[in-house]
Chains A and B, each alone.
Chain A
Amino acid sequence: QVQLVQSGAEVKKPGASVKVSCKASGYSFTNYLIHWVRQAPGQGLEWMGVINPSGGSTWYPQRFQGRVTMTRDTSTSTVYMELTSLRSEDTATYYCAREVEAPTANDALDIWGLGTMVTVPS
C-alpha cells in the first residue's frame, strides 16, 4: 500500500545536525512532491519546505533557509531532510507528506509519514 516510512527518533546536542529520512513505497516516487512539516510539543503545524523528487528542486521558507537541506535518492525512493545548527526550539516531531506533482491538481498532503521525534536538550 501507499506509505511513507520515516527514520527513528533522534536526540542531538545543541549545534549539531540531524538528517531524517522518508522512504516512499506503493506509488511512483517521481510523480509526487515531498513536503516536510514539523510540530513542537503541544504546538501547531509548521511547514518547512518541499522537494521535487523528479529533478531535486527545492523550496524553503526564509526562516529555514541556510539551515535546512532536502535531498532525494531516486534509487531507493527516499527523501532526506537535514537540519543544522540545532537548538532547543527545534525539538519537534518532523513529518514528511506527499503532494501530487501536477500544476492544478489541488491535492496536497494526502499521505503522511508517522513522524520522527527530534529532541535537542537545552
Chain B
Amino acid sequence: DIQMTQSPSAMSASVGDRVTITCRASQGVNNYLAWFQQKPGEVPKRLIYAASSLQSGVPSRFRGSGSGTEFTLTISSLQPEDSATYYCLQHNSYPWTFGQGTKVEIK
C-alpha cells in the first residue's frame, strides 16, 4: 500500500500569510493526487485534482504542485474562511490512501 505522509499535522497562521502543506508518497503516484478541504461538520470539498488543476469555483489563492512522490498545497494569502482541515489523496493505485490531514487555524 502507498503511504501518504502529510506535514505539518497542524498549524496556525495569520490572515494574509502564505501557507504550505506537503504530502509525501511512499512511492510514485504520477500526478494522481487530489487535495480536499473539510470544515467542521461539513463534507470534504475537492480543491485540486491531477496534482495541480484547480477545481471550478475554488479561489485562485489555492495552488497545487508537485509530481512523483512529493506534492504541495499552497494558499497564497490565507483568509479567515480557509480555517479547515486539508487532506491529500493518492488515487494512482488501489488501495487509495489519504494523508492524515493538516489542521489550519487562523491566529
A interface vs B, CB < 8 Å?
35, 37, 44-47, 50, 59, 61-62, 95, 99, 106-110, 112-115
Tell me whether B49 and A107 are in contact (CB under 8 A).
yes
B50 touches A110 (CB 8 A): no
Whose C-beta in chain B lies nearest to the C-beta of A64? B95
> B57-85: contact bitstring with A at CB < 8 Å (1 yes, 0 no)?
00000000000000000000000000000
A50–B91 Cα gap in the complex (Å)?
12
**Nearest CB on A from B48, distance (A):** 11
Contact (A112, B43) CB under 8 Å given A44-B101, A45-B87, A106-B49 = yes
A108 & B94 in contact (Cβ 8 Å cutoff): no
> Is B44 located at the chain interface by the 8 A CB criterion?
yes
Whether B98 pairs with A115 at a CB distance below 8 angstroms is no
Q: Can you give 20 A-B contacts (C-beta < 8 A)? A: A35-B96, A37-B98, A44-B87, A46-B98, A47-B95, A47-B96, A47-B97, A61-B94, A62-B95, A95-B44, A108-B49, A108-B91, A108-B96, A109-B44, A109-B46, A110-B49, A112-B43, A112-B44, A112-B45, A115-B43
Find the B residue at minimum CB distance from A4. Answer: B43
Number of interface residues of B (CB under 8 A): 24
Seen from chain B, the residues whose Cβ lies within 8 Å of a Cβ on chain A are: 1, 31-32, 34, 36, 38, 43-46, 49-50, 55, 87, 89, 91, 94-101
Sample of 17 more A-B contacts, CB < 8 Å, known A45-B101, A47-B96, A110-B55: A45-B38, A45-B44, A45-B87, A46-B98, A47-B89, A50-B96, A59-B94, A61-B1, A95-B43, A106-B31, A107-B49, A108-B96, A109-B34, A109-B89, A110-B46, A112-B43, A115-B43
Bound complex: CA of A106 vs CA of B49, how far in Å?
Answer: 7
With a cutoff of 8 Å between Cβ atoms, the chain A residues found around residue B97 in the complex are 47
| Shortest beta-carbon distance from B43 to chain A in Å | 5
